[in-house]
Chain A
Amino acid sequence: MKHLRAMFLAPSVFFTVVLFLIPLTIIVSYSLRTRGVYGGVVDPWTIENYARLFDPLYGMIMVRSVLMSLAATALCLLAGFPTALFIVRNEKHKSLLLNLIMLPFWTSFLVRTYAWMFLLRDTGLINSALMAMGIIKEPLPLLYNETAVIVGLVYGYLPFAVLPIFSNLERLDKALLEAAADLGAKPWEAMFHVVLPLCAPGLRAAGVLVFIPCLGAYLTPDLLGGGKSIMIGNLIQNQFTTARDWPFGSAISLALMAGVMALLIVLIRRDGEEAL
């Protein structure tokens, strides 16, 4: 019996240790050492990399990343809620629609981001079409600004918003809506006073699932933002590439991880673990 338990536990222990704990330990040890001449880390041990985090320059980048991620998250929820509601109510095609939501994951995120570049460019599909229709004379500057980054983030992470809201809505007891109607609530009143409050855990879970990857995004700000405004993910990436400062890059990564962890703890306290 004991033997069997160990056997079933082994894979998850293996993955936790090999794919999570060991890399994490390496990053922690990197973050406490000194940068090598050309990448890598050397002795001595130091906490200087953490002290540098308090530099207002990096604080500003952090604040901007949070604001951009919040904007993307809000838009994902605004678009994700009606989408999830539509799928839940569409009994006939529910699984088809859910599969359509997942469809973009069949191609690589990089390729899809490049596709957005082709849409948003001056000579891209949107500008060409608008100019052909005579709506605009000069191409609109759609690419390489913060709006393009937010559009890219919303596009990339919208499925993560739809799915938890969907599962929450599906568990909702329909009798409650009937009760609301019996008590004289109009459909929109029932939506705001019954459905939305009951769906709050789903919305929070969706928010977290979108917000966290947005915060660490580096591909989207790079490709759609044109490298003009960096997010925390780009700052980390730069430390491992052009700046060749692995210890500082590790320290920023861990700080980001700690922030995300704190957010998760707050939410778990609130909704219980099932919310996530």
Chain B
Amino acid sequence: MITRRAALSIALVTGCSRSSAKRLNVFNWSAYVAPETVPNFEKQAGAKVRYSIYESNEEMLARVFSGNSGWDVVFPTHYIVPPMREQHLLADLDHTRLPNLKNLDALFKSPVSDPSLSHSMPYMWNATGILYNTNQGPAPTSWADLWAPHWKGHLTMLDDPAEVFAAALRKLGHSLNSRNPVELLAAQKEAIAQKQLLRAYLNTEVRDQAVAGDVLIAQLWSTTAQQAIDAAKHLAFVYPKEGFPLSLDCAVILRESPRQEIAHEFLNYLLEAGVSARIAETMRTATANAAARPLLTQATQSNATLYPSPETLANAEWFATITPDAQRLRDRLWTEIKSA
């Protein structure tokens, strides 16, 4: 019995020491890699990848904040990167091990959240705009169109305070990251006025309802909107002329990770043009990888929802990291909107 146990523990120890080189734990958003992305990396690197998914930044943060989460690579949205860095959760990226960083689109080579890419690798991005039914009257062009009374009962907004405030602030001509209480109160007033017209506050669930025709116009993320448009010809998407928010999901390596080397290898692999193009094409997301763009189908390359023109993008504004005080004010205003 003792000998068996001893043998087991020896096996465990050796197993562990070997696995630290040959194993990688990746925690990513759902539907964010192609089916063959991870298996191909396992073959190429001779490693075993434990891959799991989450649905929100908060869900990921709750696991990672405790330290000792066991994850090596996670994918925060860009505005989550600075606080994660301040909490010393992120490892420094070694650019000598990431030669494929050169593939990145110029727009994402120096994001506001991490200008030198010292801790985060831009992965996929999306923007917020308006999905609408082309059979129902004039096409919307602005956020203000979401306040038009004729949409009553068929209009949805995202169930997300940052997004609803962004639309209302931009409608009023303010920065969507405004922290000015006067501007925020004015935006809240707009949101409360709009609530009479609203069918619901919905996130990705709106996709099926827009396809079915229950919802005629919706504030929505470009990538989710594209999935709806793929399923229904009567839908189209527009970037509002007042300006709109941009979000960039980034890959980071956790400081706690004992597998820095293979984690870098994985990040560099994701930056390969072919790998990135396959993910973007199969998952209908927008890649931050310029080298991958020519490998996409013609139709995808010229898709103005996933890849808006530079003129349209000039109107975009990055979501900024929100301070705890500003967040608390915004949450209070949001709760007031919800109970209005």
The answer to whether A and B assemble together is: yes
- Residues of chain A having any CB pair with chain B under 8 Å: 35-40, 57-58, 60-61, 64, 121-123, 141, 143-144, 225-230, 234-235, 238, 240-245
Known: A226-B202, A227-B201, A227-B338. A243 touches B331 (CB 8 A): yes
Interface flag for B1 (CB, 8 Å): no
Q: Which residue of A lies closest to B80 (CB)?
A: A38
B contacts with A: majority SS: helix
Interface string of B62-76 (1 = CB under 8 A from A): 100110000000000
The 7 closest A-B pairs by CB, nearest first: A226-B200, A227-B201, A243-B331, A122-B214, A144-B200, A227-B159, A230-B338
A contacts with B: majority SS: loop
CB distance from B117 to the nearest CB of A (A): 21
Contact B195 A228 (CB under 8 A): yes
CB distance from A150 to the nearest CB of B (A): 16
CB distance from B240 to the nearest CB of A (A): 22
11 new A-B pairs (CB below 8 Å) besides A57-B339, A121-B212, A123-B214? A38-B80, A38-B84, A38-B87, A122-B212, A144-B199, A234-B338, A235-B335, A238-B335, A242-B161, A242-B334, A245-B331
Interface string of B206-226 (1 = CB under 8 A from A): 000100111000000000000
Q: Which B residues touch A228, using CB under 8 A? A: 195, 198, 200-201, 338
Q: Mind listing 18 A-B residue pairs with CB under 8 Å?
A: A37-B86, A37-B324, A39-B58, A40-B65, A57-B335, A58-B335, A60-B339, A121-B212, A226-B156, A226-B198, A226-B202, A227-B159, A227-B200, A227-B201, A229-B338, A230-B339, A240-B58, A242-B162
Q: Which residue of B lies closest to A122 (CB)?
A: B214
Q: Which residue of A lies closest to B86 (CB)?
A: A37
CB distance from A64 to the nearest CB of B (A): 7
Which of the residues B56, B83, B339 comes within 8 Å of A61, measured between beta carbons? B339
Q: Which A residues touch B214, using CB under 8 A? A: 121-123
Interface flag for B160 (CB, 8 Å): yes
Number of residues in B with C-beta < 8 Å to the partner? 37
Q: Which residue of B lies closest to A246 (CB)?
A: B62
Q: Which A residues touch B61, using CB under 8 A? A: 38-39
Interface string of B39-72 (1 = CB under 8 A from A): 0000000000000000010100110011000000
CB distance from B119 to the nearest CB of A (A): 15
Cα distance, A204 to B214, chains bound together (Å): 41
Using a CB-CB cutoff of 8 Å, which residues 300-340 of chain B contact chain A? 324, 327-328, 331-332, 334-336, 338-339
Contact A241 B339 (CB under 8 A): no
Q: Which A residues touch B66, using CB under 8 A? A: 40
Contact A241 B58 (CB under 8 A): yes
Cα distance, A244 to B330, chains bound together (Å): 12
Which of the residues B209, B324, B334 comes within 8 Å of A35, measured between beta carbons? B324
Q: Which residue of A lies closest to B162 (CB)?
A: A242
CB distance from A23 to the nearest CB of B (A): 15
Q: Which residue of B lies closest to A64 (CB)?
A: B339
Contact A121 B161 (CB under 8 A): no
Q: Which residue of B lies closest to A234 (CB)?
A: B338
Contact A37 B332 (CB under 8 A): no
Contact A39 B331 (CB under 8 A): no
Q: Which B residues touch A230, using CB under 8 A? A: 335, 338-339
Contact A122 B331 (CB under 8 A): no
Cα distance, A243 to B62, chains bound together (Å): 13
CB distance from A121 to the nearest CB of B (A): 5
CB distance from B256 to the nearest CB of A (A): 15
